Amino acid sequence: AQRVTQPEKLLSVFKGAPVELKCNYSYSGSPELFWYVQYSRQRLQLLLRHISRESIKGFTADLNKGETSFHLKKPFAQEEDSAMYYCAVLGPGTYKYIFGTGTRLKVLA
């Protein structure tokens, strides 16, 4: 079955601490992986896609095909990183994103 799992509903870290938001997926074939972020009362915004291998706002994510994971990491969390983070999969030959349930990141002062 096609599935995206984000095991943590809520993750609280202190400012300056490292953060890792977990994402595991189950998908046959070679899907594309994305991270979207939703700040309070705002729209879903693209944060990262695995094929571009960029670092946005200090966040990185590496696709591990062996572990079927795409964890989002940042070495030093900032208060403005507090938001809802969604991992999403786009399968080959399909148009639909499959989203995880999201992780709310709270960065404490």
Partner 1 sequence: EPEVTQTPSHQVTQMGQEVILRCVPISNHLYFYWYRQILGQKVEFLVSFYNNEISEKSEIFDDQFSVERPDGSNFTLKIRSTKLEDSAMYFCASSKDSNQPQHFGDGTRLSIL
Q: What's 16's DSSP letter?
A: T
State how far the Cα of 3 lies from the Cα of 23, in Å rounded to an integer. 10
Minimum distance, C-beta of residue 71 to partner 1, in the bound complex (Å)? 18
Minimum distance, C-beta of residue 14 to partner 1, in the bound complex (Å)? 27
Q: What are phi and psi of 92, to 5 degrees?
A: -65, 140
**How is residue 33 written in tokens?**
């992986």
Query: Which of 22, 50, 73, 99 is in the footprint of partner 1 by CB under 8 A?
Result: 99
Residue 55 sits in the site that holds partner 1 (CB under 8 A): no
Selection from 84, 9, 81 nearest residue 42 by Cα = 84
Selection from 12, 10, 13, 15 nearest residue 79 by Cα = 15
Count, residues near partner 1 per rule CB under 8 A: 20
Q: Which stretch binds partner 1 (CB under 8 A): 16-24, 30-38, 54-62, 75-83?
A: 30-38
Can you give the binding site for partner 1, defined by CB under 8 A? 32, 34, 36, 42-46, 49, 86, 90, 94-102
